[in-house]
Amino acid sequence: MNGPLMVTVSGVRGIIGSSLLPSVISKYVTAFALLQHGRKIIVGRDSRVSGPWIEKLTQGILMAQGYECVDVGVVPTPTVQFMVTEEKADGGIIITSSHNPVEWNGLKFVGSDGLFLSPEKCAELFSLADSGPFVFPSYHSMGKVTSLATASQRHIEAIVALPYVNVASIQARSFKIVLDSVNGAGGPIMHSLLTHLGADVVGMNLDPSGIFAHKPEPVPANLGSLCDAVKANGADLGIAVDPDVDRCVLINEHGEPLGEEYTLAIVVDFLLKHVGKRGPVCKNLSTSRAIDDIARSYGCPVFNTPVGEIHVAKKMVEVNAIIGGEGNGGVMLPDIHIGRDAPIAAVLVLQALVAHGGSISQLKAGLPQYEIVKLTAPIEGIDPDAVVQHFQQIWEGRASLTSTDGLRIDTPDWWVHLRKSNTEPIIRVIGEGGGFAQSMERCQQFLTDIVQFSQQYKNK
C-alpha cells in the first residue's frame, strides 16, 4: 500500500487505488458494525466518482453482519447525521473525503446519537479494525439494504420548521444568490432549499458529478469564479459549500469573500440579538475572537475546544450549548442536530439579513472586525509534537499558552494557533489581531521559524 492513509478522529481518508483499497474499507466497516452492536445503519455519500464502489462494498459488509443498511444516496454529511437520530438508527457511515482532492475518499463514522465518534470510541474502532480476522454470522442472519429517497427533503423541512425561521419574510426579500457547490453533494439540496426560500439562484457547478470544477475547499483562493459571478449577476450574495456540504462560506454583494469566520459570527449574532437565545457558545481554538466578543456582549460564556467537529460537539453536549461551530464556515445548531451543517447556516444567514434589513456587507460591518490568517507548513518526516514543544519553550512566560490542541499563543492584542492537521502532513498556522497585514506578517514569521526548525530537526 502506497500513499498516505489518514486515520484520525475525522475518520479514515486515503487515495483511491493507493492507500484506500477494498481491504481497507472492509476492515473499518466491519469493525464499526461490530462496535455498534445494532441492527440499522444509515449510509450516505458525497458525489466522488469512487463513491459507488465504496457504497456497494459498505452495504455488502453491513448485510453480511446482519444489519439493515438504509441507503440515503448522495446527500450532505449533516443529512446522514440528522437521519441517524430521525430513524433511531444505531449509527451512520458517510463515504466522503470532505474537501480533499478528487483522488481521495474515505469514511466518517456516526454514533447512534448523531455525533461523530468520540476520540475514545475512534481508538476502540481502529484497534478493532487492526485486530482481525472477523467472524460473520451464517446465512440465516443476513441483513438487507433499504432505500430512503426523502432524506434531503426531510432535512430541509426540519430546518424551515424552526420557530425562528420565517419563510415568508425571507421569500419577501427575493434574494439573488450565486451558489457554487463544486460538483459535490450540495447542488440538489442547496438549490432546492434556496428556491423554496424564494431566491433567484444562479447555479455554478451544481451537477453532483464528483469531478470538482476547482479545488474543493471553500477558501478565498478557490472562489475567484464565484466572486466574479456575484458581481456579474448583481447578486445579493454568493454561497459556496464543500463537497460534503458541512461548510458554508459567503461572498458579499461586491464579490468579496466575507471570510470563513463570519458565517458563524452572523449566526451567533442573529440567535443572541434577534431570537433572544442565551446560554453557552462553543467553538474551536482556531476560531476568531469575534465570536467571543459577540457572546460577551450578551452575557454568554464561550468554551474553546480542540479543532475537530467531535470536540466541539462533545463540549456542546456537556455544557448544553445553544450554538457552536468552527471558523471554517461550520455552524452547529442543536435545535436540529449537533453537527456542522451548511443548509442550516445558509438559512440562518438569510434570516439574519432579513432581521438586519441591509446588505450582507453592512451586516458584517456591524460585527466585531477581525482579519484572520490561515497558513500551512509542510512537515513530512517531522515530528509535529517536536515543533509544538519548540515554540512552547520560546513563548513560556511571555504569553498565555493553551496546549490542548497543538499550541495556542494568546496576548491581549493577538493570538496564533499552531497545530498539526488531522488529515494532512502539515502544521497549520492560524492567527489574528492588529489587522490583516500585521496578522499576515506575524503568521509568516511563525511559518519561517517552523521551516528553520524543520531543517535543523532533519539535520540532527
* Catalytic residue numbers, as ranges: 98
* DSSP codes, 189-241: HHHHHHHHTT-EEEEES-S--S--SS-SS-SGGG-HHHHHHHHHHT-SEEEEE
Contact indicator for 54, 101 with CB cutoff of 8 Å: no
Report the distance separating Cα 62 and Cα 34, nearest Å: 10
Distance CA 344, CA 347 (A): 5
Q: Which amino acid is at 2?
A: N
CA 426 vs. chain centroid, Å, equals 18
How far, in Å, CA of 326 to CA of 372, rounded? Answer: 13
> 425 near 378, Cβ under 8 Å?
yes
Q: Is 459 exposed, middle or buried (0-12, 13-18, 19+ CB in 10 A)?
A: exposed
Residue found under cell 443498511: 69
| Among the listed residues 143, 137, 8, 133, the one whose alpha carbon sits nearest the alpha carbon of residue 63 | 143
Amino acid at 321: A
Q: How open is the CA angle 421-427-430, to the nearest 5 degrees?
A: 95
Grid coordinates representing 438 are 500585521
Distance (Å, rounded) from C-alpha 178 to C-alpha 226? 7
> If we measure between CA atoms, which residue out of 262, 382, 408 comes closest to residue 331?
262
**Contacts (Cβ under 8 Å, ≥6 apart) of 369:** 290
Angle in degrees, 0-180, between the axes of helices 342-356 and 77-86, rounded to the nearest 10: 100
* C-alpha cell read off for 432: 489574528
First vs last Cα of the chain: how many Å apart?
Answer: 29
Residue type, 242: D
Q: Are 336 and 344 in contact (CB under 8 A)?
A: yes
Amino acid identity, position 204: M
